[in-house]
Amino acid sequence: MTLARVADGSVPPADASPSRRDLHSMPSVSQQTPFEAEVAALIAQAVNLPSPPAEIDPVAPLFGAGLGLDSIDLLEIALAVTQRYGCELRSDDPDNARIFASLRNLAAHIAEQRRS
C-alpha cells in the first residue's frame, strides 16, 4: 500500500483529507476569492484595464506575459492600494517580485498587512 505524502515528505493523518463540502467551498486555482475580486477591481480601475476584473486569473502573472502591465502600472497599483487599504507598498521592497507576481499574491500581501 502506498501512502500519499504532503509537500514536506511527511504522511498526512488519515483524517486530514478535506471533506466533499470543503472541496466545493475552496476556490479553484483560477477562481477569484471575494477579496481577490475586490483587488482585481482596484487594479482594473487604477490602470484602466480594457477587460473586466473578473477575467483576471488570480494566479497569472500581473506583469509581462500575464496582464502585460509595466512598472508605471505597478506605481499606479501601489498608490491605489495605499489609498484604499492604508498599507504602503514601497518601490524598494526586495519582496516586490513576489508581492506583484499575481493577483493572488498581491491580495494575500494586502490582507497580511491589514492584519498587522
CA atoms within 13 A of residue 86's CA, in its CB half-sphere: 3
> What pLDDT, in 10s, does the model give residues 44-89?
999 999 999 999 999 999 988 888 899 899 999 999 999 999 998 9
Query: What domains sit in the chain, N to C, each tagged with a CATH number?
Result: 30-115 (1.10.1200.10)
Provide the Cα torsion 37, 39, 42, 47; round to 10°.
-100
Closest alpha carbon to 32 in 8, 53, 9, 50:
53
pLDDT at residue 43, as a whole number:
97
Locus of grid cell 521592497? 93
∠ CA 43-90-46, rounded to 5°: 15
Q: Mean of the per-residue pLDDT values for the chain?
A: 81
State pTM to two decimals: 0.73
Which sign, positive or negative, has the C-alpha torsion 15, 21, 26, 31? Answer: positive
The highest-confidence range among 10-19, 25-34, 59-68, 99-108, by mean pLDDT, is 99-108
